[in-house]
């Protein structure tokens, strides 16, 4: 956490609140009202949507590279020129699968 945030908290100008339902931590000025639960939930859903789009984009990139490699393998009738890229993508796939569980 930044020293500026900690300093503002100590001075009572900033409040940190953790929502047990969404798991999010929110910062707000001490003189501002607490956000309604529905707004906190909506923001958590937006976070989930952004994360899902990013992960989906990574999967799509993996699929496109695999499709290109398939074409190269067919054209060359050999997988020797694609093996390194395939190995890198397999590692990326395992990383994505581990993160999505």
Residue 14 token pair: 């900033």
Angle at the Cα of 40 from the Cα atoms of 31 and 5, rounded to 5 degrees: 45
Contact between 59 and 95 under an 8 Å Cβ cutoff? The reply is no
pTM score above 0.75: no
Average pLDDT over residues 19-33: 83
Indicate the length of the chain as a whole number: 101
**Could you report the per-residue pLDDT of 3-13, keeping only the tens digit for each?**
998 898 899 99
- Residue from 92, 21, 61, 65 nearest 73 by CA: 65
User: Looking at residue 99, what is its pLDDT?
Assistant: 67
Residues 6+ apart with CB under 8 A from 21: 37, 40, 41
**Could you report the per-residue pLDDT of 27-54, keeping only the tens digit for each?**
888 898 888 888 888 988 998 999 999 9
């Amino acid at each position: 956490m930044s020293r500026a945030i900690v300093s503002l908290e100590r001075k009572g100008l900033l409040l940190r609140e953790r929502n047990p339902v969404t798991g999010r931590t929110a910062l707000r000025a001490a003189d501002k009202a607490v956000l309604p639960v529905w707004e906190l939930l909506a923001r958590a859903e937006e976070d989930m949507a952004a994360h899902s789009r990013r992960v989906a984009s990574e999967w799509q990139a993996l699929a496109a590279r695999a499709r290109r490699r398939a074409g190269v393998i067919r054209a060359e009738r050999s997988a020797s020129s694609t093996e390194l890229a395939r190995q890198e993508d397999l590692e990326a796939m395992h990383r994505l699968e581990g993160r999505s569980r």
